[in-house]
Amino acid sequence: MLLAQRDLADFWSALNLGGDPGLVRNALLDFYPELLATYGDASALLGADWYDMLRDAPPSVAAFRAVMARPADSEQAQASARWGVGPLFEGDAGGALALLSGATQRLVMQPFRDTVYTSASLDTVRTGVARVPSGATTCRWCVMLASRGAVYKSEINAELVVGRGSNRTGYDASGKRLVGGVGGGVKARGNQALADQFHDRCDCATVVIRTERDYPDGYDLDAMKRLHAEQSGIGRDIPTD
């Protein structure tokens, strides 16, 4: 994520930001999908490896390997780029970069998160995923979702479709996971479930849950429920430490 934001900043600094903003936008529309595809693939790979490492099923349960989600496609990437570059047309290059950097954080992290949610949906062991806030404050949206605890997945197979392109769920002869190519992987049909949605610069973690013991140390689900019940005022950040 930080590397993607760094590459974005380097690209941005090389542009003539005092010139025609339309030319800047056009250059960004070419660059941004490739940036998200490259780092989104790496993000999904990390998510799959992380899920496989955490999986602790009894020997009697069938083997399972995490299924990698696909990164943002060109249409989504370009739509985000057009939105983020907007302030540049009003002379605010710094504001445009801030919006683009926030969108980059979300879109690069999303394949990791989608890989975890999708793998939990397809796992042969009943598995949930909990949203765990981090940092000093958490927005109302994330408090509400964190207060739900582990969202268990079931009967999800009919709601998933395989994207066209490379198959990033396979392995080569040495057992190394295959990765690369825009458009492959698994993507949820239609809109994501609420628990799967994250805003720009969201620092919530996705934690695989099978039993109460899987909640991280210090995480208090009852406290999350109380915060959700007590919160008031749209957009207010609530202390979570």
Return the residue matching tokens 């602790």.
56
pTM above the 0.75 mark?
Answer: no
Q: Are 170 and 156 in contact (CB under 8 A)?
A: no
CA dist 214 → 101, 122, 133, 227 (Å): 32, 19, 15, 22
Strands (E) across the chain are located at 128-132, 137-139, 151-152, 160-162, 186-188, 205-209, 237-239
Structural domain for 139, as ranges: 2-239
Please give the single-letter amino acid code of residue 90.
E
Q: What one-character DSSP code corresponds to residue 193?
A: P
Question: What is the C-alpha separation between 88 and 12, in angstroms, rounded?
Answer: 11
For residue range 54-99, list pLDDT tens digits in order.
Answer: 776 665 566 788 889 999 999 999 999 999 999 999 999 999 999 9
For residue range 179-235, list pLDDT tens digits in order.
Answer: 544 344 544 433 444 445 677 777 777 888 877 777 777 777 777 787 778 774 434
CA 159 vs. chain centroid, Å, equals 19
- Looking at the predicted structure, is the pLDDT value of residue 28 above 50? yes
- How many domains, in total, are found in the chain? 1
CA dist 112 → 8, 47, 92, 190, 205 (Å): 20, 4, 32, 19, 10
